[in-house]
Amino acid sequence: MRKLIALLALIPLFSGCAEMQQVINQLPQTGILSQAEIASGLKEALNNGIEKQVVKLTNVDGFYKNEMVKILLPEELKKVDKGLRDIGMSKLADEGLKVLNRAAEDAVKTSTPIFVDAIKGMSFTDAKNILLGNDTSATTYLQNSTSTALYGKFNPVIKNSFAKVGADKVWTNIITKYNSIPLIKKVNPDLTDYTTNKALEGVFKMIAVEEKDIRNNFASRTSDLLKRVFALQDKK
Protein backbone atom coordinates (compact mmCIF):
# COMPACT_ATOMS: atom_id res chain seq x y z
CA MET A 1 0.00 0.00 0.00
CA ARG A 2 2.84 2.41 0.86
CA LYS A 3 4.44 1.77 -2.55
CA LEU A 4 1.14 2.46 -4.29
CA ILE A 5 0.69 5.73 -2.39
CA ALA A 6 4.26 6.76 -3.27
CA LEU A 7 3.66 5.99 -6.93
CA LEU A 8 0.42 7.97 -7.03
CA ALA A 9 2.13 10.91 -5.36
CA LEU A 10 4.81 11.01 -8.06
CA ILE A 11 2.53 10.64 -11.08
CA PRO A 12 1.96 14.44 -11.42
CA LEU A 13 5.68 14.86 -12.11
CA PHE A 14 5.14 13.10 -15.41
CA SER A 15 1.87 14.75 -16.45
CA GLY A 16 1.79 15.30 -20.20
CA CYS A 17 4.43 12.61 -20.78
CA ALA A 18 2.22 9.66 -21.69
CA GLU A 19 5.01 7.55 -23.09
CA MET A 20 7.16 7.97 -19.98
CA GLN A 21 4.17 7.22 -17.77
CA GLN A 22 3.57 3.99 -19.67
CA VAL A 23 7.18 2.99 -19.10
CA ILE A 24 6.99 3.81 -15.39
CA ASN A 25 3.82 1.75 -15.00
CA GLN A 26 5.70 -1.28 -16.32
CA LEU A 27 8.59 -0.98 -13.87
CA PRO A 28 8.92 -3.30 -10.89
CA GLN A 29 8.07 -1.49 -7.69
CA THR A 30 11.64 -0.81 -6.55
CA GLY A 31 11.43 2.97 -6.43
CA ILE A 32 10.63 5.71 -8.95
CA LEU A 33 13.19 7.99 -10.55
CA SER A 34 12.67 11.73 -10.50
CA GLN A 35 12.89 13.89 -13.61
CA ALA A 36 16.21 15.24 -12.36
CA GLU A 37 17.64 11.73 -11.94
CA ILE A 38 16.57 10.70 -15.43
CA ALA A 39 18.16 13.80 -16.95
CA SER A 40 21.31 13.28 -14.86
CA GLY A 41 21.58 9.68 -16.04
CA LEU A 42 21.39 10.68 -19.69
CA LYS A 43 23.96 13.43 -19.12
CA GLU A 44 26.27 10.91 -17.47
CA ALA A 45 25.93 8.58 -20.45
CA LEU A 46 26.81 11.38 -22.87
CA ASN A 47 29.76 12.45 -20.74
CA ASN A 48 30.99 8.85 -20.77
CA GLY A 49 30.83 8.84 -24.54
CA ILE A 50 32.93 11.97 -24.73
CA GLU A 51 35.45 10.88 -22.10
CA LYS A 52 35.89 7.33 -23.37
CA GLN A 53 35.56 7.74 -27.12
CA VAL A 54 36.08 11.33 -28.28
CA VAL A 55 39.27 11.75 -26.25
CA LYS A 56 40.73 8.75 -28.11
CA LEU A 57 40.46 10.71 -31.34
CA THR A 58 42.78 13.43 -30.04
CA ASN A 59 45.69 11.01 -29.66
CA VAL A 60 48.31 10.49 -32.36
CA ASP A 61 46.72 8.08 -34.86
CA GLY A 62 43.33 8.55 -33.16
CA PHE A 63 41.85 8.99 -36.62
CA TYR A 64 44.57 7.56 -38.82
CA LYS A 65 44.67 4.08 -37.28
CA ASN A 66 40.96 3.80 -36.44
CA GLU A 67 39.25 2.30 -39.48
CA MET A 68 35.84 3.47 -38.25
CA VAL A 69 36.77 7.13 -38.59
CA LYS A 70 39.95 7.26 -40.68
CA ILE A 71 39.69 10.15 -43.13
CA LEU A 72 40.08 8.93 -46.69
CA LEU A 73 40.55 11.08 -49.74
CA PRO A 74 37.53 12.77 -51.33
CA GLU A 75 36.39 11.36 -54.66
CA GLU A 76 38.06 14.09 -56.70
CA LEU A 77 41.43 13.34 -55.09
CA LYS A 78 41.39 9.59 -55.60
CA LYS A 79 42.63 10.22 -59.12
CA VAL A 80 45.39 12.38 -57.62
CA ASP A 81 46.41 9.52 -55.34
CA LYS A 82 46.42 7.06 -58.24
CA GLY A 83 48.29 9.49 -60.47
CA LEU A 84 51.07 9.93 -57.92
CA ARG A 85 51.39 6.20 -57.31
CA ASP A 86 51.51 5.57 -61.06
CA ILE A 87 54.59 7.78 -61.33
CA GLY A 88 56.32 6.21 -58.33
CA MET A 89 55.36 8.72 -55.64
CA SER A 90 53.49 6.41 -53.25
CA LYS A 91 55.32 7.79 -50.22
CA LEU A 92 54.09 11.32 -50.92
CA ALA A 93 50.53 10.01 -51.47
CA ASP A 94 50.65 8.17 -48.12
CA GLU A 95 51.92 11.28 -46.34
CA GLY A 96 49.10 13.37 -47.81
CA LEU A 97 46.51 11.05 -46.31
CA LYS A 98 48.24 10.94 -42.93
CA VAL A 99 48.42 14.73 -42.50
CA LEU A 100 44.67 15.11 -43.10
CA ASN A 101 44.07 12.78 -40.17
CA ARG A 102 46.65 14.56 -38.04
CA ALA A 103 44.82 17.86 -38.53
CA ALA A 104 41.52 16.24 -37.48
CA GLU A 105 43.14 14.78 -34.34
CA ASP A 106 44.39 18.25 -33.46
CA ALA A 107 41.01 19.93 -34.03
CA VAL A 108 38.97 17.52 -31.89
CA LYS A 109 40.85 18.76 -28.80
CA THR A 110 38.69 21.90 -29.00
CA SER A 111 35.36 20.04 -28.89
CA THR A 112 34.89 19.29 -25.18
CA PRO A 113 33.62 22.72 -23.99
CA ILE A 114 30.98 22.75 -26.74
CA PHE A 115 29.77 19.29 -25.77
CA VAL A 116 29.71 20.24 -22.08
CA ASP A 117 27.48 23.25 -22.81
CA ALA A 118 25.09 21.11 -24.88
CA ILE A 119 24.84 18.48 -22.17
CA LYS A 120 24.24 21.07 -19.45
CA GLY A 121 21.43 22.52 -21.54
CA MET A 122 19.55 19.22 -21.84
CA SER A 123 15.95 19.49 -20.65
CA PHE A 124 13.81 16.72 -19.18
CA THR A 125 11.89 16.58 -22.46
CA ASP A 126 15.20 16.06 -24.28
CA ALA A 127 16.13 13.32 -21.82
CA LYS A 128 12.74 11.62 -22.14
CA ASN A 129 12.92 11.60 -25.94
CA ILE A 130 16.49 10.28 -25.85
CA LEU A 131 15.69 7.54 -23.34
CA LEU A 132 12.69 6.32 -25.30
CA GLY A 133 14.42 6.69 -28.65
CA ASN A 134 16.66 4.41 -30.67
CA ASP A 135 20.24 3.29 -30.03
CA THR A 136 21.71 6.61 -31.20
CA SER A 137 19.14 9.13 -29.95
CA ALA A 138 21.60 10.74 -27.53
CA THR A 139 24.19 11.05 -30.28
CA THR A 140 21.60 12.62 -32.57
CA TYR A 141 20.71 15.12 -29.82
CA LEU A 142 24.35 16.15 -29.53
CA GLN A 143 24.74 16.29 -33.29
CA ASN A 144 21.73 18.59 -33.64
CA SER A 145 22.83 20.73 -30.69
CA THR A 146 26.51 21.15 -31.50
CA SER A 147 27.26 20.63 -35.21
CA THR A 148 27.13 24.31 -36.17
CA ALA A 149 29.27 25.39 -33.22
CA LEU A 150 31.72 22.52 -33.75
CA TYR A 151 32.13 23.33 -37.43
CA GLY A 152 32.86 26.96 -36.52
CA LYS A 153 35.43 25.80 -33.97
CA PHE A 154 36.98 22.99 -36.02
CA ASN A 155 37.37 24.81 -39.33
CA PRO A 156 39.91 27.47 -38.27
CA VAL A 157 41.71 24.95 -36.06
CA ILE A 158 42.08 22.54 -38.96
CA LYS A 159 43.29 25.38 -41.16
CA ASN A 160 45.94 26.20 -38.55
CA SER A 161 46.63 22.51 -38.00
CA PHE A 162 47.45 22.10 -41.67
CA ALA A 163 50.34 24.48 -41.10
CA LYS A 164 51.18 22.98 -37.71
CA VAL A 165 51.43 19.38 -38.94
CA GLY A 166 52.83 20.34 -42.34
CA ALA A 167 49.70 19.39 -44.28
CA ASP A 168 49.65 22.62 -46.26
CA LYS A 169 53.16 22.06 -47.60
CA VAL A 170 52.54 18.37 -48.28
CA TRP A 171 49.34 19.06 -50.19
CA THR A 172 50.78 22.02 -52.09
CA ASN A 173 53.51 19.63 -53.20
CA ILE A 174 51.01 16.89 -54.05
CA ILE A 175 48.72 19.16 -56.09
CA THR A 176 51.69 20.76 -57.86
CA LYS A 177 53.13 17.36 -58.76
CA TYR A 178 49.78 16.04 -59.93
CA ASN A 179 48.88 19.12 -61.95
CA SER A 180 52.23 18.85 -63.76
CA ILE A 181 51.35 15.40 -65.13
CA PRO A 182 50.68 15.80 -68.89
CA LEU A 183 47.10 15.63 -70.17
CA ILE A 184 45.37 15.62 -66.77
CA LYS A 185 42.60 17.91 -65.56
CA LYS A 186 44.01 20.18 -62.88
CA VAL A 187 42.53 20.12 -59.35
CA ASN A 188 42.32 22.66 -56.53
CA PRO A 189 40.29 21.07 -53.68
CA ASP A 190 39.10 22.76 -50.47
CA LEU A 191 40.69 20.34 -48.04
CA THR A 192 39.94 22.44 -44.96
CA ASP A 193 36.16 22.14 -45.42
CA TYR A 194 36.42 18.45 -46.35
CA THR A 195 38.59 17.56 -43.34
CA THR A 196 36.37 19.58 -40.99
CA ASN A 197 33.26 17.67 -42.04
CA LYS A 198 35.03 14.31 -41.84
CA ALA A 199 36.33 15.15 -38.35
CA LEU A 200 32.75 15.91 -37.25
CA GLU A 201 31.52 12.61 -38.70
CA GLY A 202 34.23 10.77 -36.79
CA VAL A 203 33.39 12.43 -33.48
CA PHE A 204 29.70 11.53 -33.63
CA LYS A 205 30.44 8.03 -34.86
CA MET A 206 32.54 7.34 -31.77
CA ILE A 207 29.95 8.84 -29.39
CA ALA A 208 27.38 6.52 -30.98
CA VAL A 209 29.65 3.54 -30.21
CA GLU A 210 29.55 4.34 -26.50
CA GLU A 211 25.82 5.08 -26.49
CA LYS A 212 24.97 1.74 -28.11
CA ASP A 213 27.21 -0.02 -25.60
CA ILE A 214 25.48 1.55 -22.60
CA ARG A 215 22.05 0.83 -24.04
CA ASN A 216 22.73 -2.80 -24.91
CA ASN A 217 25.45 -3.97 -22.52
CA PHE A 218 24.44 -3.98 -18.85
CA ALA A 219 28.09 -4.21 -17.75
CA SER A 220 28.77 -0.83 -19.40
CA ARG A 221 26.35 0.90 -17.04
CA THR A 222 29.14 1.73 -14.64
CA SER A 223 27.16 3.60 -11.99
CA ASP A 224 24.02 2.92 -10.00
CA LEU A 225 22.33 5.90 -11.66
CA LEU A 226 23.05 4.58 -15.17
CA LYS A 227 21.68 1.17 -14.21
CA ARG A 228 18.47 2.63 -12.81
CA VAL A 229 17.88 5.12 -15.62
CA PHE A 230 18.51 2.69 -18.46
CA ALA A 231 16.26 0.15 -16.75
CA LEU A 232 13.48 2.48 -17.91
CA GLN A 233 14.69 2.02 -21.48
CA ASP A 234 14.88 -1.76 -21.03
CA LYS A 235 11.23 -1.81 -20.02
CA LYS A 236 9.90 0.37 -22.86
172: confidence class by pLDDT, cuts 50, 70, 90:
confident
* Predicted pLDDT of residue 31: 52
Contact (Cβ atoms closer than 8 angstroms) between residue 92 and residue 173: yes
Amino acid at 204: F
Say how far apart CA 3 and CA 215 lie, in whole Å: 28
Residues 114, 122: contact at Cβ < 8 Å? no
What is the rounded distance in angstroms from the CA atom of residue 212 to the CA atom of residue 139? 10
Taking residue 80's Cβ as centre, other Cβ atoms within 10 Å add up to: 23
In angstroms, the CA 62 to CA 192 distance is 19
Whole-model pTM: value is 0.76
pLDDT (mean) for 78-82: 82
Distance of CA 70 to the CA centre of its chain: 14
E runs forming strands in 89-189? none
pLDDT digits (tens, 9 = 90+) for 18-50: 444 444 444 333 357 888 888 898 899 888 888
**Which amino acid is it at 42?**
L
The residues, ordered by sequence, that sit 6+ positions from 115 with a Cβ below 8 Å of its Cβ are 46, 50, 54, 142, 146
Contact (CB, 8 A) for 80 and 225: no
pLDDT surpassing 60 at residue 232 = yes
Look at residue 133 and tell me whether its pLDDT is greater than 70: yes
* Res. 93 pLDDT band, cuts 50 70 90: confident
Mean pLDDT of 186-193: 80
Q: At what angle do helices 191-216 and 137-164 cross, to 10 degrees?
A: 140
Interval 96-118 mean pLDDT:
90
How far lies 4's CA from each of 10, 99, 150, 167, in Å?
10, 62, 47, 65
Residue 162 confidence (pLDDT): 86
Q: What is the pLDDT of residue 26?
A: 42
Q: Sorting pLDDT into bands at 50, 70 and 90, what band is 83? A: confident
DSSP 71: P
* Contact call for residues 137 and 229 (beta carbons, < 8 A): no
* pLDDT of 8 strictly over 50: no
User: Percentage of the chain surpassing pLDDT 90?
Assistant: 29
The answer to whether 231 touches 166, Cβ cutoff 8 Å, is: no
CA angle 123, 126, 129 (to 5 degrees): 150
Between the ranges 73-87, 107-121, 165-179, where is the mean pLDDT highest? Answer: 107-121
Interval 222-236 mean pLDDT: 85
